[in-house]
Amino acid sequence: MKPIKVMLIDDSAVVRQVLGAMLNADPQIEVISAVADPLLAMIRMKTQWPDVIVLDIEMPRMDGLTFLRQIMRERPTPVVICSTLTEAGARTSIEALAAGAVAIITKPKLGLKQFLSDHSNDLLNAVKTAAKANIKRLVVVEKLSADAILPPAAGHGAMIQTTQHIVALGTSTGGTQALEKVLMALPRVAPGIVIVQHMPEKFTAEFAARLNTLCQIEVREARHKDRVVQGLALIAPGGKHMLLRRVGAQYFVDVIDGPLVNRHRPSVDVLFRSVARSAGANALGVIMTGMGDDGALGLLEMRQAGARTLAQDEESCVVFGMPKEAIKLNAVDKIVPLGGIGREILQQL
């Protein structure tokens, strides 16, 4: 196999040196260029185009987000954002995911060398996953209205439903745009939704806020003891697990600390298991694009508890990892394209 050709774009010489050495140490990866800003990158890319770009956000002359959007318009290429995580920068990073970035690796302002050494596997895995990503699925996002799913509800029939019907979604790589497409297509009467999207701490609030501006339903980062109600989607906070809990006829979420499960916190398996226990046949479980197998066992538990279960199809996935593993376990009732998930959600009404 030919090594993955990587271009590093970061204005810090230390970052370029440390990341370059780390990536080149892996026999599956070859750093073909390391430059200080996007303008220099464009000059190098005229002679050799990379398979994957590792990109900083804040740089002189041209910022990473502007460069990312330009690349996605002209020649879509897998991009891994490697940027300092700050409160202000979180919104920009969410915009980068929406523009087509495959993954985000956060780096601290201090202790950079030690951090990169400790988290080298995260970066290597992100680059390898990006190299396999179906990048066209990241950059072609069709905006749908609820009319594409069903006509507007006649009268108030749908509003008499209680919160006994729950939808649980789990996703990772490629999920930011996949969730955007699914949630934007839902009307305000959609059933209550709980979501795990693998994402770093502090990013989920910005991600939820962005979706909330685009969707008819309300979307926000979950808080401990939030009630799950019709027309609301709750996204598990980065760095926390989220569980569903039933009290009488009502559902609530518990947002808790805990160890990594399947190397993730939040974990899809944790959410799905709690939904299987608390909602059973009153739930719909959906596993979507992402690498690894987080969520596969949890989805099987949901199906065994009587829930309907869906997997996003390979054609519409950026990475057909999580759905594939769930299908292998016979955890899936139905395999559907991304555009059909909204229709299936509305069957929970």
Q: Domain 147-346: which topology?
A: Rossmann fold (3.40.50)
pTM for the whole structure: 0.72
Superfamily of domain 4-139: Response regulator (3.40.50.2300)
Give pLDDT, residue 89.
Answer: 58
Residue 84's contacts (CB-CB under 8 Å, 6 or more residues apart) are 57, 58, 106, 107, 108, 109
Does residue 257 have an active-site annotation? Answer: no
Are the CB atoms for 166 and 279 separated by under 8 Å? yes
Number of C-beta neighbours around residue 5 at 10 A: 17
pLDDT by position in tens, the chain (length 349)? 789 999 999 998 988 998 899 899 999 999 999 999 998 998 899 899 999 999 998 887 888 888 888 888 778 899 998 887 544 556 777 788 888 888 888 776 667 677 767 777 888 988 998 898 877 665 544 433 223 322 333 333 322 334 478 999 999 988 999 999 999 999 999 999 999 999 877 789 999 999 999 999 999 999 999 999 999 999 999 989 999 999 888 999 999 988 888 878 899 999 999 999 899 999 999 999 988 899 999 999 999 999 999 999 999 998 898 999 999 999 999 999 999 999 999 987 6
CATH code 3.40.50.2300 region(s) in the chain: 4-139
**Residue 96: predicted pLDDT:** 83
pLDDT at 138: 58
DSSP characters over 97-110: HHHT--EEEEE-SS
- CA distances 252 to 86, 194, 205, 287, 346, Å, are 30, 10, 19, 21, 20
Amino acid letter, residue 93: S
Q: Where in the chain is CATH 3.40.50.180? A: 147-346
State the catalytic residue, choosing from 165, 198, 241, 264. Answer: 198
pLDDT in the model for residue 158: 29
At 137 the pLDDT is: 60
pLDDT score for 142: 44
Question: Which amino acid makes up residue 191?
Answer: P
Q: Which of 33, 83, 93, 172 is catalytic?
A: 172
pLDDT confidence of residue 109? 67
- Whether residue 83 lies in the annotated active site: no
In this structure, the dihedral spanned by the alpha carbons of residues 278, 280, 281 and 285, taken in order and rounded to 10 degrees, is 100
Q: Is 172 a catalytic residue?
A: yes
With 0-12 / 13-18 / 19 or more C-beta atoms within 10 angstroms meaning exposed / middle / buried, residue 340 is middle
Catalytic residue (choose from 37, 51, 294, 313): 294
DSSP state of 173: T
